[in-house]
Amino acid sequence: MSSGPLSQKLFATAKQYIPGGVNSPVRAFRNVGGEPFFVRRAKGSRIHDVDGRVMIDYVGTWGPAILGHAPQVVLEAIHDAAKEGISFGIPNPYEVDMARTICEWVPSVEKVRMVSSGTEATMSAIRLARGYTGRDLIVKFEGCYHGHVDSLLVAAGSGALTHGNPDSAGVPRGFADLTVVLPFNDPAALEELFEKRGGEIAALIVEPYPANAGLILPKPGFLQLLRDITAKHGTVLIFDEVMTGFRLAKGGVQELEGITPDLTCMGKVIGGGLPVGAFGGRAEIMNMLAPDGPVYQAGTLSGNPVAMAAGLAQLREMDKQKGYDKLEENGQLFEEVVLETLTKKGLGYRWYRKGSMFCLFFTEREVHDLHDAKTADLAAFRKFFHYCLEHGVYFAPSQFETGFMSLAHSPDDILQTAEMAAAALASL
């Protein structure tokens, strides 16, 4: 679908002043062809573009909008907090509430530091792990994306993968050399590396359900192996739960899988749509942070009162509404209709879902790692994406991203989407 005339005009101007016309490469639509549309308004499960088109949205601002867009409770919390001041740079009571809530909800977190994005969280957690262990090497998995941190932009997912640039230019070789990349779900490769270099590895960072190369689930026992092997070698295990945290359960994947990482990175849902990240974990490690310890980390807007109020309102509303159970019900309904459609159409495409996160891979191969994900038929994905957009449903403009449902998606929305998706698949 081509974007409307107003979007086209805005994009032409944007390109004059913003590299590529976008503030995040994933939004450029380049790999699906065409140009991005510009949004005037988003409410509930719907986004409205500047040309007056309305779409059911399954991107949800890339994860944060778990209650739907612009929920009343969050709007009110923002309003109430902002009336008292927008930023202090001095401690405020909301920060304490937020820290206590995170420590109560996330099983492994004893202490937490607030930051302003997921990238800041992973960057700081890596530095902290290095400071704590006195080691330099870190391990990550192919296709996992941990924000645009220098040493983590190696074999990265999300926009880096979508645009064919998983190893970014501008990352000094010395940084990249300190990052060892392994295939996800491969115990033998992991064991071999730790056997050889275990004593040098400061941290192993992982998205426990990788969600930046589509959605990939760990094989049974893989996350436990990560826990056991890192504990044995004195390596800090970091769960990047920026996408899964507060999204799949109050305590994220670590609660669902019963694994206790040493550090956890958080973001997205926790900010209620405002820019918030956090990292936390064992007090013994967190106490290494300045001003108590020697590992420096800071941020002018960290713990910002308006952002904290928005995030707290969203988390409390999820709790009040038993939101995670409802999202699982919606997810199951969506799954049933998708699987039924695939069977009816005789398509062997692979579907993965956890709670409100999902991905349809346009490949018949089971997807356990990046290599499998890359067997997807990207031309088929493109056609599917544009058909859906033209018919009022917006999925992420990349095969290598995850879809999100929210509490604002009604069963009717889901059935309407499924009907439309069936037609889209039939059109391929």
Which of 11, 29, 62, 385 is the binder for ligand HOZ (CB under 6 A)?
Answer: 62
Task: Estimate the crossing angle of helix 93-105 against helix 305-320, to 10 degrees.
Answer: 40
Is residue 24 close enough to count as binding ligand HOZ by CB under 6 A? Answer: yes
Q: Which residues contact 211 (CB under 8 A, 6 or more apart)?
A: 243, 244, 357, 359, 401, 402
Choose between 163 and 368: whose C-beta lies nearer to ligand HOZ: 163
Mapped onto helix, strand or coil, the DSSP state of residue 277 is strand
Q: Which residues contact 267 (CB under 8 A, 6 or more apart)?
A: 117, 118, 121, 242, 245, 276, 277, 278
- Only segment of 22-30, 78-86, 258-266, 383-391 that touches ligand HOZ (CB under 6 A): 22-30
Do residues 57 and 31 make contact, with C-beta atoms less than 8 angstroms apart?
Answer: no
User: Which residue minimizes CB distance to ligand HOZ?
Assistant: 24
* Distance between CA atoms of residues 75 and 70, nearest Å: 6
Which of 27, 197, 250, 365 is the binder for ligand HOZ (CB under 6 A)?
Answer: 27
* Beta carbon of residue 229, minimum distance to ligand HOZ (angstroms, whole number): 27
- Only segment of 21-29, 120-128, 232-240, 316-324 that touches ligand HOZ (CB under 6 A): 21-29
Do residues 152 and 122 make contact, with C-beta atoms less than 8 angstroms apart?
Answer: yes
Pattern 351-390, binding to ligand HOZ, x per CB under 6 A?
A: ----------------------------------------
Site for ligand HOZ in 200-219 (CB under 6 A): 212
Give residue 370's identity as a one-letter amino acid code.
L
**145 labelled catalytic:** yes
Choose between 26 and 126: whose C-beta lies nearer to ligand HOZ: 26
Is residue 401 close enough to count as binding ligand HOZ by CB under 6 A? Answer: yes
Task: Estimate the crossing angle of helix 222-233 against helix 187-197, to 10 degrees.
Answer: 0
Selected catalytic residue, list 132, 145, 209, 394: 145
Do residues 312 and 101 make contact, with C-beta atoms less than 8 angstroms apart?
Answer: yes
Nearest to 156 by CA among 276, 49, 169, 335: 169
Nearest to 22 by CA among 33, 5, 10, 31: 10
Which of 26, 270, 342, 359 is the binder for ligand HOZ (CB under 6 A)?
Answer: 26
* Beta carbon of residue 212, minimum distance to ligand HOZ (angstroms, whole number): 5
Selected catalytic residue, list 111, 140, 268, 383: 268
**240 labelled catalytic:** yes
Is residue 117 close enough to count as binding ligand HOZ by CB under 6 A? Answer: no
Choose between 107 and 275: whose C-beta lies nearer to ligand HOZ: 275
Choose between 124 and 158: whose C-beta lies nearer to ligand HOZ: 158
Nearest to 241 by CA among 277, 214, 285, 273: 277
Nearest to 97 by CA among 247, 286, 245, 308: 308
Is residue 185 close enough to count as binding ligand HOZ by CB under 6 A? Answer: no
Q: Describe the chain by its helix, strand, coil percentages, rounded to 5.
A: 45, 15, 40
- Only segment of 19-27, 188-196, 343-351, 363-371 that touches ligand HOZ (CB under 6 A): 19-27
Phi/psi at 359 (5° precision): -155, 135
Is residue 163 close enough to count as binding ligand HOZ by CB under 6 A? Answer: no
Q: Which two tokens stand for residue 290?
A: 């300045």
Selected catalytic residue, list 240, 369, 372, 413: 240
Number of residues located near ligand HOZ, criterion CB under 6 A: 7
Residues near ligand HOZ (CB under 6 A): 24, 26-27, 62, 158, 212, 401
Q: Point out the residues that are catalytic.
A: 145, 240, 268
